[in-house]
């Protein structure tokens, strides 16, 4: 689980669901307007195996995408310009602006990266295959 807190709801949430899907959710405008969600197929994530997860909110293309081990795993429309939260980033739990947390993961997280622009799919593919995250700044 990776989330960024907002006052009413997260600005984004990347998680593995109980049925082993990679799910990326972002609000679709006003904080009360609901979420746009993209997810992989059920069973995509295997227990006891290290996986590289990546999520991209591409406002230019109007898409939200998820990647598993460098490969595209799902795409959905992102809706209008999403609501932006300025709360803290939470790693391993879903978090809120008042520092409450829920939905802790039961596993290990290694190497987190966050960028203010959409990474090119070739970069995600390369890092998903080599087990790393980009070390250069993306603006």
pLDDT by residue (tens digit) across 113-134?
Answer: 888 788 888 988 887 776 544 4
| Nearest Cα to Cα of residue 86 among 124, 116, 118 | 116
For residue 139, is pLDDT > 80? Answer: no
Q: Check pLDDT > 90 for residue 79.
A: no
As a whole number of angstroms, the distance between CA 129 and CA 88 comes to 29
How do residues 29-60 score in pLDDT, each as one tens digit?
A: 665 666 778 899 999 998 888 888 999 988 88
Map out the domains of the chain as residue ranges: 2-130
Q: What is the CATH number of domain 2-130?
A: 2.60.120.200
Q: How confident is the model at residue 66 (pLDDT cuts 50, 70, 90)?
A: very high
Q: For strand 89-91 and strand 2-4, is the pairing parallel, antiparallel, or unpaired?
A: antiparallel
pLDDT at 19 over 50: yes
- Please write the tens of the pLDDT for every residue from 90-101: 888 877 777 777
Would you state the structure tokens that stand for residue 33, as one six-digit string? Answer: 């307007």
Q: Given this model, what pLDDT does residue 135 score?
A: 45
């Amino acid at each position: 689980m990776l989330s960024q807190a907002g006052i009413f709801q997260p600005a984004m949430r990347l998680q593995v669901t109980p049925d082993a899907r990679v799910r990326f959710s972002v609000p679709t405008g006003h904080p009360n307007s609901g979420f746009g969600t993209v997810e992989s197929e059920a069973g995509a994530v295997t227990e006891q195996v290290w996986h590289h997860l990546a999520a991209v909110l591409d406002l230019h293309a109007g898409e939200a995408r998820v990647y598993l081990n460098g490969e595209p795993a799902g795409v959905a429309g992102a809706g209008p310009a999403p609501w932006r939260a300025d709360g803290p980033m939470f790693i391993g739990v879903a978090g809120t602006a008042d520092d409450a947390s829920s939905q802790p993961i039961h596993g290990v997280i290694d190497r987190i990266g966050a960028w203010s622009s959409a990474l090119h799919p070739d970069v995600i593919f390369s890092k998903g295959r080599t087990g790393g995250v980009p070390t250069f700044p993306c603006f």
